[in-house]
Amino acid sequence: MEHTKVEYISSYISKLLRKNFGRGPQSCRTTVGEKHLVTYITGFINPMEEILIQQGQGKYVDDARTSIINHLLDEIRGLVKVTLDVDVADCYHDWNFPNNSGVLIFVLEEREGENFQTDLDIKSLENEVGRISAVVQKMPDQINTYPLSKTILVIERIGILIPIEKALISQGFKKELRYTKDELEKSYFHRSGKFESIFKSHVKDILIDWNFKEDKSLMVFVLAPNS
């Protein structure tokens, strides 16, 4: 029954994106765990955005998308609540233009259900996330890992902002900081991380968003299915 509900959420989000952006994604796949609902979106760059990205104007595409997605989040929150009978505590989203992909992450209030069981070496994964976080900014105060399926994992980092970042936020430079952190962190996690040896699988995508007010970040690792 839940599988049907999750498919309905994917279909609704895909139609909502098509209605508001003028074209829908090639695929829209939702995975739900005990504490998170993740919708992974691929094939969602329109011709105008593609031209802007090729001209090095990805920042403007990101700004426009963020504005529209933020406008849609309340509706999607309501969809999740009605469909799964659970409240949404927080929302995150990120886009990876080189991969033509994106993700919507919904932090759920307590719900019934079991965590996905995995034999992944969680300690090694969290150590590697901490190592790269420390290179870019600082070692997180806390790292929590939530496997949702064989191919989707959510990692929460708490306590990652350094004093200069907090000062920039207080001075109203949230947008500039978010864009800079997005480029910097993803480049390090993609290039310098030893994640494929930990997962024993190809990492298709790493997507990251932040809640500056609460000094936390959510990451989504998207893995290729093992044949």
Q: What pTM value is reported for the model? A: 0.93
Least confident of 8-22, 44-58, 85-99, 155-169: 44-58
Q: Which residue has the tokens 């034999």?
A: 119
Backbone angles phi, psi at 154, to 5 degrees: -110, 130
Least confident of 8-22, 45-59, 111-125, 212-226: 111-125
Rounded average pLDDT over 109-117: 72
**In a 3-state reduction of DSSP, which class is residue 135?**
helix
Q: Where are the alpha helices (H) located in 85-173, listed in sequence order? A: 122-136, 163-170
pLDDT of residue 212: 95
**Which residues, 6 or more positions from 169, have their beta carbon under 8 angstroms from its beta carbon?**
161, 177, 212
Query: C-alpha distances in angstroms, 107 versus 26, 33, 35, 99, 219?
Result: 25, 10, 6, 24, 12
- pLDDT tens sequence across 45-62: 888 888 998 998 888 888
Average pLDDT score over the chain = 92
Q: 81 falls in which pLDDT band (50, 70, 90)?
A: very high
For residues 179 and 158, the model is more confident at: 158
Sign of CA pseudo-dihedral 136, 139, 142, 143: positive
